[in-house]
Amino acid sequence: MSYQVLARKWRPQFFEDLVGQEHVSQTLKNAITADRVHHAFLFTGARGVGKTSAARIFAKALNCQTGPTTQPCGVCPSCVEITNSQGSDVLEIDGASNTGVDDIRELRESIRYLPSQSRYKIYIIDEVHMLSINAFNALLKTLEEPPEHAKFIFATTEPHKIPITILSRCQRFDFKKIGLAPLQIRLRHIVDKENIKVEDSGLTIIARSGGGSMRDALSTLDQVIAFCGDQIDDEELQSLLGLVSRSLLLETVRSILERDPGRSLALVQKVDEHGHSFRQFCQQLVELVRSLVILKVVAQPGELIDVGEAELEEINTLAGPASLEDLQRLLAILIRTEADLAISNYPRLTMEMVLVKLAGMPAGVEVATLIKRLEALEAQLASGIPAPKGPAVEKTPAPQAVAAPQPEEPAVKQSAPLQAVDTGEKNWAGLVEFVKNRHKPRISSLLEQSSLLLLELPCLRIGMPGRYFSLADSDMRQAIQSLAVEYFATEVKLEVEKIGNGDKVPLSLHEERTQQESDRQKKLRENAVEHPLVKSALDIFGGKIESVKPIDKGFV
């Protein structure tokens, strides 16, 4: 007899054999017992969790000669045919291969006929989401008003692709991923029956490689048996699956938490010597640190983490002295590193530098501690502690010679006429303000960029930068002169000269304002840096001042 893979040999044959799907088994058995069996069922869930097996078991329960029963006999002709996928009244259809409307039309034609020897005609359609829209529409009427002898069982991994009109006519059962502990128990039962010797730690590795899928775990077990024979060694198992040993992962995290970058580098070298993928190494580190975070948050993690009892105790010891903040930072950096390793040309170097960074990172400060410091700082601020004036003079021997106050004096004197327009004083700044109030934005903007060269009425001479001089055509000059005559209430003769970047001319109004704002911002920053409360905040958070905003102008 030809060899039969473990996934087929140990396929569940009864409701009790469905591992991790007790909620589905119990509901289906209750429906049979109460004689409330629906005509259409939808089984959804990840691959290899028992959807098709459950459909076959349910079909045997409905068509068994002793039934309908929750305990099919497994030996009657109907049960045997279903087990061997040879039932004439239980049809298994691959939705991926029969996607067209013609296939569904054939199904609709055959469904009218009574079953040949069974109680029900049962259609199991696997990967039903692969059917076309036209095929779903052709199936819709049959699902709405099916014959009494017909039952439908749909299985899919992607229920969101099924039209809502189909979903609303089915009873939906969501199959869960199988937990690590149930997987281990089932694998132990199988290896004992197959006379395979393997440690519990090895079964944990195989079960974890299944990712919640019984079929994937059994396929891995088949591969391991082919490689190792009847005696499965943990090291050979890890080598075959390309996994880093658990002890090496634990030691790496321990070296990080103990701030030992040298040991971290030595462990990376071991990973490289064993030929492991650095990306997979990082992924396993992410899973381990995630387990540490969960243990810091939840006292009894239960199924939140997939580890055995011995390993749980070991990582619990590792998580003990570490703070939650440090573990969260560690996890965030490792997740980014895993993505970087996918495109890195130097994976070992990338892994080494990240571990050195993590091992050298200072311990995080508890949030509660920061809050206490902030409250103390807030109390100081509320008490009105003034900024010290004396120390600034003592630290800087010659504050009187600082050039910052000096440039402000002429600037203030020149800008004073901006406020003196209402007093009747007639000057250049007042003329620009007058033009602006007359809603001449183009002219006022041009004058703000220009420099006053001479104002001795009736002569008014202004200098325009080269980039604006072309705008001062005859019409523009006439408009400026008319506005100047109106403002000064006397005759004005306007002269416009072109000035270059190297010409020594007075600052324009725009340049004066820019310089004043720059000097003011510089002085504000100096005052902020010297303020004791700002210094305290910088010491607490270890930060730096990015920008200073004057509160008298409002926040932007």
Q: What is the pLDDT of residue 236?
A: 81
Q: What is the pLDDT of residue 308?
A: 66
> What is the full DSSP assignment across 254-316?
HHHHTT-HHHHHHHHHHHHHTT--HHHHHHHHHHHHHHHHHHHH-SS-GGGS---HHHHHHHH
Superfamily grouping for domain 415-513: DnaA, N-terminal domain (3.30.300.180)
Average pLDDT score over residue span 141-167: 89
Q: What is the pLDDT of residue 388?
A: 44
153, pLDDT greater than 90: yes
| Ranges in the chain annotated CATH 3.30.300.180 | 415-513
| Ranges in the chain annotated CATH 1.20.272.10 | 246-360
More confident residue, 151 or 238: 151
Give the domain 180-241 fold.
Answer: Helicase, Ruva Protein; domain 3 (1.10.8)
394, pLDDT greater than 60: no
C-beta pairs of 2-5 under 8 Å, 24+ apart in sequence: 5/218, 5/219, 5/222
Q: What is the pLDDT of residue 354?
A: 92
| Ranges in the chain annotated CATH 1.10.8.60 | 180-241
Of the pLDDT bands very low, low, confident and very high (cuts 50, 70, 90), residue 337 is very high
Q: Domain 246-360 is of which CATH architecture?
A: Up-down Bundle (1.20)
Q: Percentage of the chain with pLDDT > 70?
A: 88
CATH number assigned to the domain with residue range 6-174, chosen from the 4 options 3.40.50.300, 3.30.1300.10, 3.90.226.10, 3.40.50.2020: 3.40.50.300
Q: What is the pLDDT of residue 552?
A: 57
Average pLDDT score over residue span 379-402: 48
C-beta pairs of 506-515 under 8 Å, 24+ apart in sequence: 506/451, 506/452, 506/453, 507/451, 508/448, 508/449, 508/450, 508/451, 509/428, 509/429, 509/432, 509/447, 509/448, 510/448, 510/449, 512/411, 512/414, 512/415, 513/415, 515/407, 515/411
Q: What is the pLDDT of residue 385?
A: 55
| Ranges in the chain annotated CATH 3.40.50.300 | 6-174
Q: Which residues does residue 463 pair with via DSSP β-bridges, in sequence order?
A: 451, 497
Pairwise CA distance, residues 187 & 410, whole Å? 89
